Amino acid sequence: MAEEEATDGQPVSKKMKYRKPKPWDHDGIDHWKIEPFKEDDMKAPLTEESSFAILFPRYRETYIKQIWGLAQKKLKEFGVTGTLDLVEGSMTVATTRKTWDPWSIMNARDFIKCLARNVPLEQAARVFEDEITCDIIKIGGLVRNKERFVKRRQRLHGPGGATLKALELLTNCYIMVMGNTVSCIGPFNGLKQVRRVVIDTMKNIHPVYNIKTLMIKRELMKDETLKHESWDRFLPKFRKATAKPKKKKVTKKKEYTPFPPPMPESKVDKELASGDYFLKPKEKDIRKRDSQREKQQLAAEAQRERRAKSFIPPEEPSEKNKKKDKKLKLKKEA
């Protein structure tokens, strides 16, 4: 019985009977923390060579040629070699016997991938840092219409690049919009947010709405009391404005008849019906002039009547009408 009781007099359960205290494990330790990988951690060199090759566009050739020396210097820190082929237009990275970090080849691949997509060297080099990675979002196939695609891509930039700058500050990521891709470099949570905003923008949801939500979340994160509560009541809910459907013109269907429509009358048929066909050319001219004179006379009479209307005096208002007008004026004044 003495073994089952603790020093404080409380009984010890069978589960905790043989468990001993661990002085090296306490509440102050962060179990999720990623320890930095050092040169001494890998005891033996890599047995196989791994390599990646990335093609780059021709307009990027001059910049890559200028900074390639600095890029090789960065790769050399991790024991990775880099080769530049200007004929083929490609960059290749490969591991060596001096490579001390097995994951450095993956970072080197992302490094040259960012360089090929208009990301400057200073930003691309951040890929080698711990807890920072890159994400390349393909937006080319999200919108079919080219004009619509260009307009929506321009929304990511905003006026004077303001929208892009706000997104970078809120997510702690570097964002480069170029062609059919969006290159991002930053922490994992930031990249997740950027991807959501970019895809929503290409789906015709303005980035300002997502930026507003991110700003509210940033302020809520500072409050310790709301740490374990739902934030749905604080976040804005944007409704999609649906346009009114256009009224379709109702067209009545013609009744079906098995008989074909009657043939239109030709000029000869019309002349035969009026009797002009049997007249001589002189008689035809006389009849034509007579019809023109009749039309001119009718038009002249209509013009005279229209002009004469301006000379007709207006009707004077009667006494009854005058009284009505006075009553209306008094009501208005009251």
Q: What is the pLDDT, as a whole number, of residue 4?
A: 44
Closest CA to 92 of 51, 62, 126: 51
- Rounded mean pLDDT of the chain? 86
Q: Are strands 133-138 and 181-186 parallel, antiparallel or unpaired?
A: antiparallel
Q: What is the pLDDT, as a whole number, of residue 199?
A: 94
Between CA 192 and CA 175 the distance in angstroms is: 13
In the structure, what pLDDT confidence band is assigned to residue 2 with cuts at 50, 70 and 90? very low
Torsion over CA: 132, 133, 139, 141 (sign) = negative
Mean pLDDT value of segment 20-26 = 76
- The pLDDT tens digits of the residues spanning 51-64 come to 999 999 999 999 99
Q: Is the separation of the CB atoms in 156 and 139 below 8 Å?
A: no
In the structure, what pLDDT confidence band is assigned to residue 5 with cuts at 50, 70 and 90? very low
- The pLDDT tens digits of the residues spanning 71-107 come to 999 999 999 999 999 999 999 999 999 999 999 999 9
In the structure, what pLDDT confidence band is assigned to residue 333 with cuts at 50, 70 and 90? low
Q: What is the pLDDT, as a whole number, of residue 237?
A: 82
In the structure, what pLDDT confidence band is assigned to residue 130 with cuts at 50, 70 and 90? confident
- The pLDDT tens digits of the residues spanning 199-243 come to 999 998 889 989 999 998 888 888 888 878 888 888 888 777 666
Q: What is the pLDDT, as a whole number, of residue 252?
A: 82
Mean pLDDT value of segment 3-26 = 67
Closest CA to 165 of 123, 209, 157, 182: 157
Q: What is the pLDDT, as a whole number, of residue 146?
A: 92
- The pLDDT tens digits of the residues spanning 155-180 come to 999 898 999 999 999 999 999 999 89
What is the reported pTM?
A: 0.62
Closest CA to 33 of 145, 144, 131: 131
Q: Over 90: is that where the pLDDT of 115 sits?
A: yes
Higher pLDDT, 52 or 47: 52
Determine how many CB atoms are found less than 10 A away from the CB of residue 196: 14
Q: Over 60: is that where the pLDDT of 50 sits?
A: yes
